[in-house]
């Protein structure tokens, strides 16, 4: 089947039309010798191909790995993704890596702690260059140069290796230890966008500031005595082993979004409750345990976290399968990334202790980004390159721009008698009123939702 790069309009089509339908078959890889969406510790690979069919296997020095293949959006500059590919090849001890955006195809070879470009062609040239590509990374070529002692390859499941699991609940934490980067805005509107796409979504607020609880319209009281959240919120779920299961503390968001969301609220009393929870070792894993009991009820769980490295942040990252780090890419937020990386290491050590795989970092999400044209032309590209080159962290493709409509839709109110109550709406619902800025923001979150669904294997 011939390949036409013009048919690749997004990253998903680069994956399906170039890699799955053309390159893998041409290079001799059969469906039982490659995997898509592979998690190896904290690393997530688009494709991992094998010279030999040894499935499943223990990932070690004897494992017959062949080629890592990474697909990017056709508008992406591949230079920005070379540091990440270097990290993959050197960390996993894989000899070859293919990097493509459909318009360009590159092959890199690992040389000790670095990688070297050994082949490059345009997408239009791939058919006439396919024999050269086969010589480098074709399955038969690699088998000839790779002797595998199958007696040393253990045929068993391995906790450090996981292929994409279909039809299982995915949990995503939204975290940064720097406040003011749009974390809650991302959490609530991503949840709304995913719900709009037909996914069953549970949104959890585990921050004592309760911004997500407010933003989803659950604070419908003006006086303390009317507070119906004080005695049933995320704290009670973590404090009790036998009581306060997820259905017991979940509320409906009602008018915040259409369709509505299920929300576990937070409360200011989380602050005073943290000391007690710190004395209860089981509190760190109770969210994990209780989420397992509803894994058939939801497709996706989104957790909004506090901007700190406290118990609640740890509980969230221990429970999550994936992590998104919203950032405005400004200096203070960037400097905080070093602390975030150290926190992830700490959390992953705890996850290993309880038999959980490392959390998968989906990437840094550029959020609260100015729409000024000169900023976008000159400053923004430099900010993005800093994340890849200096901090060696992946960047998500989606961008959430700083628009007044995002705060406007959350600050809607409704008057009942003489009293005014909060009546926030998601930007997805707000856009239905045909406000142009709201429609732009809604589209940005729909793009983000599509990227997330692709990343967690639920885009079908």
What is the share, in percent, of the chain residues with pLDDT greater than 70?
A: 89
Q: Which residues contact 267 (CB under 8 A, 6 or more apart)?
A: 208, 210, 213, 229, 230, 233, 234, 235
**Cα(66)–Cα(48) distance, integer angstroms:** 8
Q: Which pTM does this prediction carry? A: 0.66
Which residue in 320, 298, 303 sits closest to 200, CA to CA?
298
Fold of domain 5-162: tt1808, chain A (3.90.1570)
Residues 129-155, mean pLDDT to the nearest whole number: 66
Band (pLDDT 50/70/90 cuts) for residue 146 is very low
Of the spans 107-111, 217-221, 413-417, which averages the highest pLDDT?
107-111
Q: Note the pLDDT of residue 376.
A: 93
Q: Which residues contact 405 (CB under 8 A, 6 or more apart)?
A: 427, 430, 435, 437, 438, 441
Note the pLDDT tens digit of each residue in 385-403: 999 888 888 899 999 999 9
Of the spans 164-173, 197-206, 385-394, which averages the highest pLDDT?
197-206
What are the structural domain ranges in the chain?
5-162, 170-455
Band (pLDDT 50/70/90 cuts) for residue 4 is confident
Average pLDDT, the chain: 86
Residues 131-149, mean pLDDT to the nearest whole number: 75
Asked whether residue 220 carries a pLDDT value surpassing 70, the answer given is no
Residues 30-55, mean pLDDT to the nearest whole number: 78
Report the range of poorest mean pLDDT among 87-101, 158-172, 432-446.
158-172
Asked whether residue 163 carries a pLDDT value surpassing 70, the answer given is no
Asked whether residue 365 carries a pLDDT value surpassing 70, the answer given is yes
User: E strands along 185-296, which residues?
Assistant: 201-205, 251-252, 262-264
Residues 126-135, mean pLDDT to the nearest whole number: 92
Q: Note the pLDDT of residue 219.
A: 80
Asked whether residue 372 carries a pLDDT value surpassing 60, the answer given is yes
Q: Note the pLDDT of residue 434.
A: 64
Band (pLDDT 50/70/90 cuts) for residue 156 is very low
**Cα(150)–Cα(308) distance, integer angstroms:** 47
SS3 331: helix
Q: Note the pLDDT of residue 1.
A: 56
Q: What is the DSSP string of 100-168?
A: E-SSEEEEEEEETTEEEEEEEEEGGGHHHHHHHHHHHH-HHHHHHT----GGGS--S--TTEEPPPTT-
Q: What is the DSSP string of 332-393?
A: HHHHHHHHHHHHHHHHHHHHHHTTPPPPEEEEEEEEEE---HHIIIIIHHHHHHHHHHTS--
Note the pLDDT tens digit of each residue in 270-300: 999 999 999 998 999 999 999 999 999 999 9
Report the range of poorest mean pLDDT among 101-105, 205-209, 420-424.
420-424
Q: Note the pLDDT of residue 264.
A: 97
Report the range of poorest mean pLDDT among 126-140, 151-165, 172-186, 444-458.
151-165
What is the share, in percent, of the chain residues with pLDDT greater than 90?
A: 58
Note the pLDDT tens digit of each residue in 63-110: 556 799 999 999 888 988 898 899 888 888 888 999 999 999 999 998
Note the pLDDT tens digit of each residue in 425-438: 999 999 987 666 78
Q: Note the pLDDT of residue 457.
A: 81
Band (pLDDT 50/70/90 cuts) for residue 248 is very high
Band (pLDDT 50/70/90 cuts) for residue 144 is low
Fold of domain 170-455: Rossmann fold (3.40.50)
Asked whether residue 38 carries a pLDDT value surpassing 60, the answer given is yes
Asked whether residue 222 carries a pLDDT value surpassing 80, the answer given is no
| 38 vs 346, higher pLDDT | 346
């Amino acid at each position: 089947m011939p390949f036409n790069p013009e048919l690749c309009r997004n990253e998903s089509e680069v994956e399906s039309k170039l890699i799955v339908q053309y390159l893998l078959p041409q290079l001799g890889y059969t469906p039982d010798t490659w995997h898509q969406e592979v998690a190896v510790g904290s690393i997530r690979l688009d494709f991992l191909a094998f010279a030999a069919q040894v499935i499943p296997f223990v990932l070690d020095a004897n494992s017959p790995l062949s080629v890592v293949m990474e697909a990017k959006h056709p508008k992406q500059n591949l230079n920005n993704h070379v540091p990440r590919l270097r990290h993959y090849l050197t960390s996993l001890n894989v000899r070859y890596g293919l990097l493509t955006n459909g318009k360009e195809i590159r092959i890199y070879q690992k040389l000790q702690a670095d990688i070297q470009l050994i082949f490059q062609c345009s997408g239009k040239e791939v058919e006439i260059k396919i024999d050269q590509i086969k010589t480098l990374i074709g399955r038969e070529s690699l088998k000839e140069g790779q002797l595998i002692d199958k007696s040393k390859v253990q045929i068993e499941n391995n906790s450090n290796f996981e292929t994409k699991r279909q039809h299982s609940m995915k949990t995503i934490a939204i975290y940064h230890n720097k406040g003011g980067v749009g974390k809650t805005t991302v959490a609530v509107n991503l949840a709304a966008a995913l719900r709009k796409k037909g996914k069953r979504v549970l949104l959890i607020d585990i921050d004592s500031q309760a911004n997500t609880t407010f933003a989803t319209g659950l604070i419908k009281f003006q006086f303390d005595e009317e507070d119906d959240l004080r005695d049933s919120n995320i704290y009670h779920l973590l404090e009790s082993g036998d009581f306060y299961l997820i259905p017991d503390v979940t509320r409906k968001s009602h008018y915040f979004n259409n369709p509505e969301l299920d929300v576990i609220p937070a409360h200011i009393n989380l602050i005073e409750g943290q000391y007690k929870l710190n004395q209860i070792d089981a509190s760190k894993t109770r969210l994990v345990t209780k989420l397992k009991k509803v894994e058939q009820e939801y497709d996706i769980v989104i957790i909004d976290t506090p901007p700190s490295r406290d118990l609640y942040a740890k509980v969230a990252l221990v429970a999550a399968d994936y992590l998104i780090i919203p950032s405005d890419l400004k200096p203070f937020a960037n400097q905080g990334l070093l602390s975030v990386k150290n926190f992830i290491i700490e959390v992953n050590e705890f996850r290993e202790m309880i038999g959980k795989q490392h959390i998968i970092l989906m990437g840094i999400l550029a959020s609260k980004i100015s729409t000024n044209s000169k900023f976008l032309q000159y400053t923004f590209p430099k900010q993005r390159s800093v994340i890849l080159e200096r901090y060696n962290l992946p960047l998500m493709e989606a961008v959430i721009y700083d628009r007044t409509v995002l705060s406007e839709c959350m600050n809607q109110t409704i008057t009942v008698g003489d009293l005014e109550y909060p009546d926030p709406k998601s930007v997805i619902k707000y856009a239905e009123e045909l406000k142009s800025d709201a429609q732009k923001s809604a589209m940005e979150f729909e793009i983000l939702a599509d990227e997330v669904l692709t990343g967690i294997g639920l885009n079908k």
